[in-house]
Structure 1
């Protein structure tokens, strides 16, 4: 039986993925920084600022911010993002580099914050054509978490009544019509990125796609 992953290991994975993303970001030009991400409301630079904000906001500050926004979470996120959006992309990247070793987070399990990082990193990389080899252990932890629990996204409901199987790793979850693909593509689909359905196969894909076309809260 595989030993459960520890919070220490999860934080190590977060730090490694932040560092890898920072290295990719260092290669971008100004046009790429301003380009749309897969997170529909934000461009690349705004996604990076959002990740810096998440790594800088503990539970008490999160409560204060949410209260100040009267629990309008779009406003709450926009305010925190603005704090970490520099006057230039280089400044925004510098702030992100500073949070690489951070273990600060709002409420919730560490696996959720690993998932947010992995998804937003792919939101940035995929439109820009940047390849990244995500360790299968990290991808499996994120996809497994999404299949078991809805936190900031309705991931569990998205795959309810479906059999989810990875083609490149050990992930296998649920019962019902099969949805099969890479672990990362499964995780991204569960996080609300419908474009990744094109990388999946099986009789359950049509059901999955129809659920993602419906209103869905995204990370």
Structure 2
């Protein structure tokens, strides 16, 4: 099954791409660009913003892990109900403003940032879309539920990944221990671990930093 997907009209993808951009700019010590990223995130994804409400519908599906099938399906159903309450025309208009803001202040390259869970975000977008057929919605929902449910086989894979991550982290620390500022080391620690927890720790850390910064 192959469905069309426009990543620039995927609010969750844009948000994740901005998080990546903010992370990279911080590591490069580009405070000016980092502040621009933070400003855009705050402006368009504030608590009471419509795009924030849409983003929460996405997050409820791609940030929930290790759940049983029953809870996964209940969350998926509720996310779809909540998403339908959001006006699609408003979403499109606000996305346009967000895209223009990014192009003007950061450049189109932001949309080329690597987002590890891009395929999952695309699947969720297609599930929420009114143009997706009932048959495809059922298939997409099963795909999402499977991604939210951790079985023994995937658990074994995670174990291997964690071992690899620990080896990489140790080698990285040995090489760059005296070359990075404490805050850069902390950020990199979260970034390295992001591959094992769907970036939950990284995004929590960045959200705290964004809230702390005074623009």
Q: Please, what TM-score do these two structures have when normalized by structure 1?
A: 0.26
Larger radius of gyration: 2
Task: Name the one with the larger strand percent.
Answer: 1
Relative contact order higher in (CA < 8 Å, ≥ 6 apart): 2
Q: Please, what TM-score do these two structures have when normalized by structure 2?
A: 0.26
